[in-house]
Structure 1
Amino acid sequence: MRNLPAFTLAGYDKGRGKLTQALWFAVMNTVFMAWFTPARLRVALLRAFGADIGTGVLIRHRVRVLWPWKLTVGDHTWIGEGAWLLNLEPITIGANVCVSQEALLCTGSHDHRAADFRYGNAPIAVEDGAWVAARATVLAGVTVGRHAVAAAGSVVHKDLPELTLQTMDGRRRPVDEPK
Structure 2
Amino acid sequence: MATPTFDERGLMLDGKLYDSTVPELARERESCCEKIIDFNCERNAQKRLEMLKDIVGNLGENSCILPPFRCDYGKYISVGHDTFVNYNLTVLDANYVKIGNHVLIGPNVQLIAATHPTDPLIRNSLVEYGLPIVIKDGAWIGAGATILPGITIGENSVVGAASVVTRDVPDNTIVAGNPARVIRKVSEHPGWTREQRDVPLN
Q: TM-score, normalised by structure 2?
A: 0.75
Please name the residue that 2:132 is paired with. Answer: 123
Distance 1:101 1:120, change over 3 A: same
CA distance in 1, matches of 2:119, 2:26: 30
C-alpha distance in 2, partners of 1:160/1:87? 20
Q: Aligned to 1:69, what secondary structure does the other structure show?
A: coil
Indicate the residue corresponding to 2:200 in structure 1. none
2:31 partner amino acid: L
SS of 1:33's partner is helix
**Residue-by-residue CA offset, 1:57-87 (whole Å, 9 max, x unaligned):** 1111111122111010000101110111111
RMSD: 2.4
**SS of alignment partner, residue 141 of structure 1:** coil
Q: List 4+ stretches of structure 1 deviating above 4 A.
A: 16-20
Q: 1:79 aligns with which of 71, 85, 88?
A: 85
Deviation track 1:83-131 (CA, whole Å, cap 9, x = no partner) reads 1111111100000001110000000111213522242410100000001
Percent sequence identity over matched residues? Answer: 24
3-state secondary structure, aligned to 2:91: strand
Instruction: State the TM-score, normalizing by the size of structure 1.
Output: 0.83
> Would you tell me which structure has more strand in proportion to its own residues?
2
Distance 1:63 1:49 in 2: 11
Residue aligning to 2:195: none
Contact 1:160 1:166 in 2 (8 A): yes
Equivalent residue number for residue 23 of structure 1: 31
Could you say if the C-alpha distance between residues 50 and 126 of structure 1 is closer, same or farther in structure 2, counting changes exceeding 3 Å? closer
In the alignment, structure 1 residue 46 sits paired with structure 2 residue 52: yes
Q: Which runs of 5+ in 1 are unaligned?
A: 1-7
Structure number with greater Rg is 2
* Matched residue count: 169
